[in-house]
Structure 1
Amino acid sequence: MRIAVVGGGISGLVTAYRLRRLLGEPVRPTVIESRDRVGGVLHTVPIAGEPVDLGAEAFVGRRPEVPALLRELDIADQLVHPAGLRPLLWAGGRAHPLPERTLMGIPTGPDSVAGLVDAETLARIGAEPGRPLDWRPGADIDVHSLVADRFGAQTVARSVDPLLGGVYAGSARSIGLRAALPTVAAALDRGAVSLTAAVSAALPPPSDTPVFGALRDGYGALLRALAERADAEIVRDTPVTALRRTQGGWRVDPVGEFDAVVLATPAPVTARLLADIAPVAAAAAGAIELSSSALVALELPKDTALPENSGVLVATGEALRAKAFTLSSRKWTHLAARETALVRVSFGRFGDDSALRCTDTELVAAATADLGTVTGVPITPLSAVVQRWPGGLAQYAPGHPERVAAIESALGDFDDLAVTGAYLHGVGVPACVASATSAADRIAAATTRA
């Protein structure tokens, strides 16, 4: 039994690992990766001799998938949690505390964003419960259209966009309510009489579980463990050019013949490979757009007077090029123990690829200048590393759940073909682990029946 996993990101490696666990020694998956390394948008590099993540650095702590996977792989000692500091929000040319009692920045009342937005916007938020709400159950809409109408455009720019930018490298205009905030959509479907009521009903209950987790040695530790335990054949530097049905299974060009295939590829690649096999699925995948971004990791002198906060999010329309700053040496206690300080500066939102066109020198200069502006202290990097992520994150636009349902429905007749990836059921690592597990279960079930 030969199984190809096309794509060596976190979804592909988890799929290969799960297949190995489910099917045992007779099956050795082949992971086919177009780059010269596995991991996709998870990438750990040494800075001053210590590992640093240049892609995602954390995962949502309330979801169980990653801690459970770490235990399976016998690397649970890698799990770390933040120091407990809150981020700041840069809006109107100055720093504000990140609003509390909001959901992805959507407030539960004017008190949530007092001091962040102007008096007119606060009055609009306060009056919102008394305004008629026209909502059709099952409808979807971009987050900006709903929140700007109910709470004002300034609420979107200063509270919602900074958070959506961090999760999706997008904005409220490019992200659909039903995919990004399903609990709010569900509350509206149930008859919430206002957006205030819907957000209040959707807020998660208080929990002692840390909001985020990370790995002490970066995601590279997880990638290495998955590759080792999967014992897969990993074919690097090999873009898959075509996928064709054969009498006995699948032809994956240019690698060879396989009995089953899992596509752990970005949405546009998945669309191209499925074009002749499942045109409905290909069309749905092709409609999912991607956002590009760039990251600059700055190594700073240990005594740099950084704020006692975990980071700084930047509102839309500010006179800064960066969209966010992670004060890594403040956010994570294991990084605070290092000999130098570390800050990650993020650039790029959906529809703006200017960061990709900048030189490394230009990006480092912008990162240094913007960090100096928001912290109010001189910034003199000891070193800097630039990482670009073209097409790194899928945009969950309005109608996204329907597009995903169309993809999965159209592949229903192919029990030896599965898809997984961050464009399906969530962009975070926990969602990717869950999606990959489902793909492996599907292929293993088909193999067992055969």
Structure 2
Amino acid sequence: MRIAVVGGGISGLVAAYRLRQALGPEAELILLERAERLGGILHTAEMDGEPVDLGAEAFVGRRPEIPELMRELGIEDQLVYPAGKRPLIWSEGAGHRLPENTLMGIPAAPEALAGLVDSETLARIAGESERPLHWERGGDIAVGALVADRFGDQVVRRSVDPLLGGVYAGLADTIGVRAALPTLAVALDAGATSLTRAVRDALPPPSTTPVFGGIRDGYRVLLDALRAAADVKIQTTTAATRLARTPNGWQLDPVGAVDAVILATPAPVTAALLREIAPAAAELAAGIDLSSSAVVALALPRDTALPDNSGILVATGEPLRAKAFTLSSRKWPHLAERDVALVRASFGRFGDDAALSWPDADLITAAVEDLTAVTGVDIRPVRTLVQRWIGGLPQYAPGHTARIADLRSATADLGGVALAGAYLDGVGVPACAASGAAAARRIVDHLG
């Protein structure tokens, strides 16, 4: 058997690994990656010989995919958890404790947002259950539209936007309820009579399991382990240019004839490769927008008096250029042991990526000035790194889940072709890993 995986991010690497497990050593597995390195938006760089993640730096610890992968690959000793500190929200020129008992910033009760929004908004939240709620079962609207209608714009800009922006590099106005907050959609479909009631129904049960996990020496440890275990022939700086059906399988240029193909590529790349063999599917994939972002890593003197918080999220409308800061040395105990204090500044939201065109020096200056503003500390970095992610995250717009269902239907008869990636069922690392595993299962089932 000869199988190609297009895309060397976490989705593609997991797909290759699962194929190798299922098909054994005789299968010829080929992985194409158009960039110079594997990993996609997972990238571990070095600062003075120490690893620093410049893409995702954590995963949802309450999902099983990544811990299970690490155990399988024999790297479970690399699993680490945060210190348990909470972030702040910077709003109206001051830091506020991140609200508790909310679903992605949407409150179940007014006291959750006390101090973050004004008294009029708190009263509106308190009385929300007395207003009729109009929700179309099975429908979908933007998170921002729903929350603004029920609670007012302050809740959207000061509570919901900062959290959604950290996950999707987008805004509540452009992200759909059903894809981004599926448990909330289920509660609304079930007939919740108010948004506060729906949030209470959708909140996860109490758990002692850490919300997030990480990898001590960075995501490169997982990527390297997957690459070795998959035993796949890798061609970097090589883009797949055409996919066509043949009597015996598929023709993938520039690889040649293959028995099956997994497209673990961003939505626009997937659309281009599907255009000849499934034009309706290609149109659906092409309609998924992408957001760009940038990360500036700052190494500060170890004794810099940073707040004792895991990070600082910036509300929409603040006169700052950065959208968030991760106080990495406060968040992760293993990073607190280093000789420097590490901070990551994030820039860029969907529809507002002007800062990404700035020279590196300007991005660094903005990161330093904004971090100084939100901490009140004289920030003097000793070392810096800049990483840009152009088109790094798909946007889960209203109707996204229906679009993906239609996309799957439109590719259902493409025996030997499977899709994987962040645009399908979630942008987080566990969701991407799950999509790669699911694509591999589909190919194995096809091959019998």
Deviations 1:285-338 (A, max 9, x none): 111110000000001100100010000000000010000000000000000000
Measure the CA separation in 1 of the matches of 2:307 and 2:370.
Answer: 14
| Contact 2:347/2:356, CA 8 A, preserved across alignment | no
SS in 1 for 2:144: helix
SS in 1 for 2:227: helix
Question: Cα distance, 1:103 vs. partner?
Answer: 0.3
TM-score by length of 1: 0.99
Matches within 5 A, 1:207-286: 207-286=207-286
For the pair 1:143 / 2:117, whether they are aligned, the reply is no
SS in 2 for 1:173: helix
Question: Cα distance, 1:251 vs. partner?
Answer: 1.4
Matched residue, 2:315? 315
Give the residue type in structure 2 aligned to 1:241. T
SS in 1 for 2:147: helix
Matched residue, 2:338? 338
Question: Cα distance, 1:256 vs. partner?
Answer: 1.6
Matched residue, 2:11? 11
Q: Number of paired residues?
A: 448
SS in 2 for 1:424: helix
Give the residue type in structure 2 aligned to 1:420. A
Measure the CA separation in 1 of the matches of 2:153 and 2:28.
Answer: 53
SS in 1 for 2:208: coil
Matches within 5 A, 1:67-82: 67-82=67-82
Matches within 5 A, 1:400-411: 400-411=400-411
**Structure 2: 5+ residue runs without aligned partners?**
none
Question: Cα distance, 1:71 vs. partner?
Answer: 0.4
Deviations 1:122-171 (A, max 9, x none): 11111100011111111100001000000000100000000000000001
Matched residue, 2:326? 326
Matched residue, 1:413? 413
**Structure 1: 5+ residue runs without aligned partners?**
none
Matched residue, 2:297? 297
Superposed CA RMSD: 0.7
Deviations 1:72-113 (A, max 9, x none): 000000100000101000001100000010000001111010
Measure the CA separation in 1 of the matches of 2:330 and 2:3.
Answer: 44
Matched residue, 1:134? 134
Question: Cα distance, 1:406 vs. partner?
Answer: 1.1
Give the residue type in structure 1 aligned to 2:193. V
Q: Which contiguous aligned blocks of 4+ residues in structure 1 show a shift greater than 4 angstroms? A: none
Matches within 5 A, 1:126-205: 126-205=126-205
Measure the CA separation in 1 of the matches of 2:110 and 2:345.
Answer: 30
Measure the CA separation in 2 of the matches of 1:299 and 1:421.
Answer: 32
For the pair 1:29 / 2:29, whether they are aligned, the reply is yes
Measure the CA separation in 2 of the matches of 1:235 and 1:355.
Answer: 33
Matched residue, 1:359? 359
Measure the CA separation in 2 of the matches of 1:298 and 1:28.
Answer: 43
| Contact 1:28/1:231, CA 8 A, preserved across alignment | no
Measure the CA separation in 1 of the matches of 2:221 and 2:365.
Answer: 31
Deviations 1:428-449 (A, max 9, x none): 010011111110011011112x
Give the residue type in structure 1 aligned to 2:416. D
Deviations 1:415-439 (A, max 9, x none): 2000000000000010011111110
For the pair 1:427 / 2:401, whether they are aligned, the reply is no
| Contact 1:62/1:211, CA 8 A, preserved across alignment | yes
SS in 1 for 2:424: coil
Matched residue, 1:40? 40
| Contact 1:280/1:406, CA 8 A, preserved across alignment | no
SS in 2 for 1:423: helix
Measure the CA separation in 1 of the matches of 2:410 and 2:185.
Answer: 26
Measure the CA separation in 1 of the matches of 2:361 and 2:38.
Answer: 27
The sequence identity of aligned pairs, in percent, is: 65
Measure the CA separation in 1 of the matches of 2:241 and 2:28.
Answer: 22
Measure the CA separation in 1 of the matches of 2:312 and 2:375.
Answer: 9
TM-score by length of 2: 0.99
| Contact 1:418/1:443, CA 8 A, preserved across alignment | yes
Matched residue, 2:56? 56
For the pair 1:442 / 2:442, whether they are aligned, the reply is yes
Measure the CA separation in 1 of the matches of 2:282 and 2:149.
Answer: 34
